[in-house]
Amino acid sequence: MDHDVTAPSRTKSLYARGAALILDGFLDYNERFADITRRARRCFEHCDWRFAHADAVARIDLYEACIGETMGRLELLLDERIRARGLWAMHSEYAARTATLRDRALARTYFNSLSRQVLQISGVDRRIEFVALSDAHDDGSALLPNLQWYPLAGDIASICTKLLEDFPFANGYTDICHGAEVLGRAMQDRWDPLPRFLQILPQVFYRERRAYLVGTARWPNRQQLCVVALVSAADGVRVHALLTKVEQISVLFGYARSHFHVDLETVDAVVGLLAGLLPHKPVSELYTVLGRAKQGKTERYCELQRYLARYPGEQMVHADGDRGMVMVVFTPPSHPVVIKVIRDRFAYPKDTGRRQVEEKYRLVFHYDRIGRLVDAQEFRDLRIPLEYFSEPLRRELCESCKATTAIVGEDLLLKHCYIERRLRPLNLYVREVLAADALRAVLDYGQAIKDLARSHIFPGDLLLKNFGISRNGRAIFYDYDELCLIDQCRFRKLPKGYDEDELRPLDEWVSARDSDVFPELFPHFLGLPTFLREALQKVHGELFDPAWWQVLQTRLANGEYLDVSPYPEAARLPGY
């Protein structure tokens, strides 16, 4: 019987061609990603904020577009063989081809995206996917090339002038000497003793309407992150703030922020540097905030798997707080995330559906989150062993979420879910802490609503249970099923009622559309103790006045930009 001795060589050739094609697709994506990223500088210099926002959305959507293009080329090469699992053993060939890449983890995640889409993988198949469960990360120092060094000795203003001159802009600095002098004084005020020198990354970080110089301040026995914030206006670039505290920089690189546009030579090294100096910041969140959302998602999966391995006897339970009418929300007790699964049916009075909820989450993913909207990562076909679920939680998922959950062997399959950072629900937090801490949280809750409104977002449901308190004490919104844009609302004053109306339901004596909002009613359903409600009304009373919202709508409709600072007033330079 004759044997086709060329079959193994043909298969090997297909492995090589397929791996080369996928790597070419990734490199093309990476170049296009860098092209968009580099345009951020021009937008900053020309104050072209509309184009900057369009680029931010385009860069987010680029990954799936490139995956689609690569898929099309793979189908032409492999035809019907593309769905043969054995052929995806080319992942070994791909591993060899990416071994010397600086950011090979990004390239390998690209391969995973294709293999999962083609083969409809549920869970993870480690024979044809790249999964690195080690949590070891280099601090990045040795891998970062071309760091800018600035010894802080002698005339500090001259050194700061040199620093700014090393980062020129086409529109120039408004007054570089004055800016350097103020920056130098701020360094002397905030650091005692002064660091021996600064090391600044050569790439500028851009986001929204600001640019940032990011680096480290180094003393003989320690180092810390530092950030110089710049703003651009018609008269040029100004030095606006100096961030030296870990909590300030942690918030700047936080999970409630949009992605930076920074053209990094090596992403892994910068992630390592930041992770080493921001001890509470997971690597997954750093990849995401640097614009590598897919890698952030991969790292979050690995973090979850490491948790499961580390706590084999621990069961996931319902997350603290009120049970959601739209989502079943559960959490691994020793891992700071929540997993959210959309219910099949929503309880009254919710009148929305699954598609609308998913659209809200997509809106937030594409939006400037201004530090007040948590980043929710969308997962499909996530498998977790049944032993990690408490019996009440397993029962509720199987009964209330039949469309998106299934028991497969010894695993629970989550066909669709969201994973996000766990926050303490605000309604619980104010009951648990001292009065002064509760007051600070409630006042920041009021500021959060204002910040969202100024960025064109109305949360929809302002109940305290839909906001959480971060480790840094910030109020962050995380329940998106009623979120909408400000221009979709009609803010109205309550009509004058009569004495008998006080005993009747509101909808019997007030005619309202779905889009109508009555701010005067807000204080009545927040469930706050009297002293907290009165403090909120005193400091943020305009939130309960429909006229404030109407004026805000007009300003936004006229194209006015209402700045929401990403850092506290204390970080700003005097006179700026």
Tokens matching residue 417: 């879910």
Mean pLDDT of the chain: 91
pLDDT in tens, 381-429: 999 999 999 999 999 999 999 999 999 999 999 999 999 999 999 999 9
Q: Percentage of the chain surpassing pLDDT 70?
A: 93
Predicted confidence band at 505 (pLDDT cuts at 50, 70, 90)?
low
pLDDT of residue 394: 94
> What does the pLDDT read at residue 136?
55
Residue 21 scores a pLDDT above 50: yes
The position carrying tokens 């020129």 is 168
Residues 168 and 196 sit within 8 Å (Cβ to Cβ): no
Q: Scanning the structure block, which residue is given the tokens 């004053």?
A: 493
Calpha distance 376→81 (Å, rounded): 35
* Measured distance CA(576)–CA(211) in Å, rounded: 15
| Amino acid, res. 36 | I
- Whole-angstrom distance, CA of residue 479 vs CA of residue 476: 10
* Rounded-to-10 torsion of CA 362, 368, 43, 150: -120
Q: Which of 55, 103, 268, 375 is catalytic?
A: 375
345-358 tens-digit pLDDT: 987 777 778 999 99
Active site residue 166: no
Instruction: Name the β-bridge partners of 475.
Output: 469
> E strands of 47-159, at which residues?
148-151
Helix (H, G, I), strand (E, B) or coil at 357: helix
Q: Is the pLDDT of residue 80 over 90?
A: no
Which pLDDT score, from 0 to 100, does residue 86 have?
Answer: 84
Res 299 pLDDT > 80: yes
DSSP β-bridge partners for residue 414? 382, 405
- Most confident region among 75-89, 92-106, 430-444 by mean pLDDT: 430-444
More confident residue, 3 or 169: 169
pLDDT for position 451: 97
On the question of pLDDT at 526 being above 60, the answer is: yes
Could you tell me the pLDDT band of residue 367, with boundaries at 50, 70 and 90?
A: confident
The rounded distance, in Å, linking the Cα atoms of 276 and 25 is 32
pLDDT tens digits, one per residue of 208-218: 899 999 999 99
Q: Is the pLDDT score of 195 beyond 90?
A: yes
pLDDT at residue 99, rounded to an integer: 93
Mean pLDDT of 242-254: 96
- Cβ neighbour number for residue 351 with a 10 Å cutoff: 8
Average pLDDT of the segment spanning 97-118: 93
Which residues does residue 424 pair with via DSSP β-bridges, in sequence order? Answer: 469
Q: Does the CA dihedral 501-502-507-511 come out positive or negative?
A: positive
Could you please state the CATH topology (level 3) that the domain comprising 426-544 is classified under: Transferase(Phosphotransferase); domain 1 (1.10.510)
Round to whole Å and give the CA distance between 371 and 452: 9
Least confident of 95-99, 256-260, 496-500, 523-527: 496-500
Q: Could you give the angle at the alpha carbon of 544 between the alpha carbons of 448 and 570, nearest 5°?
A: 35
**Residue 140 confidence class, pLDDT cut points 50, 70, 90:** very low
CA 106, chain centre distance (Å): 18
DSSP3 helix / strand / coil % (the chain, rounded to 5): 50, 15, 35
113-367-332 Cα angle (round to 5): 60
Query: φ, ψ for residue 491 (rounded to 5)?
Result: -85, 125
At 466, which helix (H) or strand (E)? none
Question: Rounded distance, CA 513 to CA 404, Å?
Answer: 33
High-pLDDT (> 90) share of the chain, %: 78
Report the alpha-carbon angle 4-9-15, nearest 5.
Answer: 130
Q: CA angle, 479 as apex, 362 and 255 as ends, to 5°?
A: 70
On the CB side of 46, how many CA atoms lie within 13 Å of its CA?
10
Q: Which residues are 339's β-sheet partners? A: 330, 419
What is the model's pLDDT at position 527? 87
Mean per-residue pLDDT for 451-461?
A: 95
Every domain of the chain and the residues it spans: 8-119, 141-306, 312-422, 426-544
- Phi-psi domain of 223 (left: phi exceeds 0; alpha: psi -120 through 50; beta: other): beta
Q: Which of 147, 163, 86 is nearest to 118 (CA)?
A: 86
